[in-house]
């Protein structure tokens, strides 16, 4: 593609998780010219969850299977899905056109954009974390759990992800320690009950990890519990302490909260007209598949109305 040529669409969707896929499905159903860009394989956070049990209509379904079904469904309605397309930045031209520049130098433009880029795992920020990334430090149990058969592991965090992934890791590990800085978990009660019923799981509460250490790979962690310094021998550390939203991709000023999550109105539109934020990148109460799908649906319908209004305005101007 020539550097001077931009591909034009009615709507661009950045992110291929459940929010982006729902937006893409509805945009395609409404006959918009729509493209979905995903930096990796389709599915987003679905691919980091082995078993999903809280999505209506499925008592349980593999995250990877749900990703495939959602992708196939959207493609069947004509959505242009492009995997392994890394976005460098998103900008807004003077006339309101949304400009998406990819890492390969190509450019896509549209009057409407749905930001569904989710986030990246939040780091603990302790010594040894970066050094042992990929050598015992992981942020995805489904991706890496099988590498730790018959080992003792530590999971850091107290939310849904920490308890779900901790339970999953007991398939491989001989023991899993779940370390949480507070005295109570934030996870759903059903997940807490399941973890407590698992004989391979042990809780370490009111504790903060200070260091991840080892020789060639992780061998131990050091933590402080109620003022006392302690050490735990483990072969791996799985960190689930939240996400950092990928809102920084947007070059133009956009309203966000102190954590970087994008602020929206009831239709998920941001402070920039014609730009919607959905799923994990948006400030909201819950971060679940069901709410992500709802976000995507709302954004697509609103984007369709926006595009049609612009086209009507252009038609009236040409007649005049």
- Is 143 considered catalytic here? yes
For residue 258, CA distances in Å to 33, 245, 285 come to 34, 11, 15
Q: Are 62 and 245 spatial neighbours (Cβ–Cβ below 8 Å)?
A: no
Q: Quick one: which H or E segment has residue 90?
A: strand 87-92
Parallel, antiparallel, or unpaired for β 119-121 and 243-245?
A: antiparallel
Of 65, 80, 91, 140, the catalytic one is: 140
- The size of the chain, in residues, is 320
Say which DSSP state 300 is in: H
Catalytic residue among 104, 143, 193, 257: 143
For residue 105, give the nearest of 3, 249, 252 by alpha carbon.
Answer: 3
Q: Which residue pairs from 298-302 have beta carbons closer than 8 angstroms and sit at least 24 positions apart in sequence?
A: 298/267, 298/268, 299/23, 299/114, 299/267, 299/268, 299/269, 300/11, 300/22, 300/23, 300/24, 300/25, 300/26, 300/27, 300/30, 300/32, 300/114, 301/26, 301/30, 302/267, 302/268, 302/269, 302/276
DSSP state for residue 78 in the 8-state scheme: T
User: Do 46 and 20 touch, CB atoms closer than 8 A?
Assistant: no
Q: What are phi and psi of 214, to 5 degrees?
A: 165, -175
Edge to edge, the sheet with strand 207-214 lists: 207-214, 218-225, 228-233
Active site residues: 140, 143-144
């Amino acid at each position: 593609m020539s550097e001077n040529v931009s591909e034009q669409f009615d709507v661009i969707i950045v992110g291929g998780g459940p929010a982006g896929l729902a937006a893409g499905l509805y945009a395609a159903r409404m006959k918009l010219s729509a493209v979905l860009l995903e930096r990796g394989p389709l599915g987003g956070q679905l691919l980091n969850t082995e078993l999903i049990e809280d999505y209506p209509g499925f008592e349980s379904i593999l995250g990877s299977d749900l990703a495939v079904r959602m992708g196939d469904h959207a493609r069947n309605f004509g959505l242009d899905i492009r995997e392994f397309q890394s976005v460098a930045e998103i900008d807004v031209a003077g006339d309101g056109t949304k400009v998406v520049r990819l890492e390969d130098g190509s450019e896509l433009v549209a009057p409407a954009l749905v930001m569904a880029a989710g986030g990246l795992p939040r780091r603990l920020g302790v010594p040894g974390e970066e050094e042992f990334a990929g050598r015992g430090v992981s942020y995805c149990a489904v991706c890496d759990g099988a590498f730790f058969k018959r080992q003792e592991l530590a999971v850091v965090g107290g939310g849904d992800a920490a308890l779900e992934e901790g339970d999953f890791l007991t398939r491989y590990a001989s023991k899993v320690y779940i370390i949480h800085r507070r005295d109570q978990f934030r996870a759903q009660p059903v997940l807490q009950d399941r973890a407590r019923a698992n004989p391979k799981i042990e809780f370490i509460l009111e504790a903060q990890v200070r260091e991840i250490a080892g020789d060639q790979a992780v061998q131990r962690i050091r933590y402080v519990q109620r003022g006392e310094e302690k050490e735990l021998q483990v072969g791996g550390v799985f960190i689930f302490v939240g996400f950092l939203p990928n809102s920084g991709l947007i070059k133009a000023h956009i309203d966000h909260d102190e954590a970087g999550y994008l602020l929206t109105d009831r239709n998920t539109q941001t402070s920039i007209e014609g730009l919607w934020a959905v799923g994990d990148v948006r400030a909201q109460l819950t971060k679940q598949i069901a709410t992500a799908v709802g976000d995507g649906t709302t954004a697509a319908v609103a984007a369709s109305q926006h595009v049609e209004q612009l086209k009507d305005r252009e038609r009236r101007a040409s007649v005049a």
